[in-house]
Structure 1
Amino acid sequence: MSTQTKLVIGGVVVGFLTLLIFPLWLSALIILGVIGAPVVGYLMLDPSQRKRVRSQGRKRLGS
């Protein structure tokens, strides 16, 4: 199992645990924050920086 798959599974488990421990509205805010932070960071990049990030992702797919 790859490292990325382990991280995704861990994130899903933590998401379910927050749903059990915290109220629904707080869990939704936590999950949206975890998903929204990288998206906002990516959208803040210049077009040339986004192109570089996409090309790095493609390079690592074959390895």
Structure 2
Amino acid sequence: MSTQMKFVIGGVAAFLVLSILGWWTVALIVLGVMAVPAVLYMMLDPSQRRRVRAQTRKRLGS
């Protein structure tokens, strides 16, 4: 299956979910999905945050 076809199927699925659940419900789900990693990152100690940032920089260079 091509990448373009995957995007088309994802778009159709997103449209169906949006039409069934309603705009506000979908917006809350999207905000929740974006907020969970941010909250988890903020719960880390400063030393743990440094370790996560160092790993991210390592991956960018490879």
What is the TM-score when the length of structure 1 is the normalising length? 0.69
Alignment partner, residue 46 of structure 1: 45
Alignment partner, residue 31 of structure 1: 30
- TM superposition shift of 1:22: 1.8
Higher RCO (CA < 8 A, seq sep 6+): 1
- Segments of structure 2 that go 5 or more residues without pairing to the other structure are none
- Segments of structure 1 that go 5 or more residues without pairing to the other structure are 1-5
How many residue pairs match? The answer is 52
The two structures, once aligned, show a CA RMSD in angstroms of 2.3
- TM superposition shift of 1:19: 2.8
Moved over 6 A (4+): none
Larger radius of gyration: 2
- TM superposition shift of 1:21: 3.5
Write the deviation string for residues 10-62 of structure 1: whole angstroms up to 9, x where unpaired: 7xx47x81434320110011001100000000000001100100000000111
